[in-house]
Amino acid sequence: MIAPSILSADFARLKDEADAVPGADWLHVDVMDGHFVPNLTLGLPVVEALERATDIPLDCHLMINDPDRWAPGYAEAGSRNVTVHAEAAHDPRRVARDIRAAGALAGLSVKPRTPLEDWVEVLRDYDTLLVMSVEPGFGGQKFMPEVLDKVRTARRLVDTGHLHVLVEIDGGISRETIEQAAEAGVDCFVAGSAVYGADDPERAVEALREQAVRASAHLGQG
Ligand code: DX5
Ligand code: ZN
The bound ligand whose nearest atom lies closest to the alpha carbon of 39 is: 1
- 30 in catalytic set: yes
Question: What is the reported pLDDT for 221?
Answer: 58
Distance in angstroms (rounded) separating the CA atoms of residues 190 and 23: 13
* 105-140 CB burial, b ≥16 within 10 A, e <16: bbbbbbbeebebeebeebbebbbbbbbbbbebbebe
Residues whose CB falls within 8 Å of the CB of residue 217, separated by 6 or more in sequence, listed in order: none
- Give the pTM: 0.98
* Separation of CA 29 and ligand 2 centre (Å): 7
Of all ligands present, the nearest one to the C-alpha of 37 is: 1
Determine whether the shortest distance from the Cβ of 98 to ligand 1 is under 6 A. no
Q: Which pLDDT belongs to residue 219?
A: 79
Looking at residue 222, its pLDDT comes to 46
Q: What is the mean pLDDT of each run of 10 residues along the chain (222 residues)?
A: 98 98 99 98 98 98 98 98 98 98 99 98 98 98 98 98 98 98 98 98 98 89 52
Ligand 1 centroid, distance to 221 Cα (angstroms): 31
**Ligand 1 atom with the shortest distance to the CA of 173:** 12
Q: Is 4 in the pocket of ligand 1 (CB under 6 A)?
A: no
Q: Is 191 in the pocket of ligand 1 (CB under 6 A)?
A: yes
Span from the CA of 165 to the centroid of ligand 1 (angstroms): 21
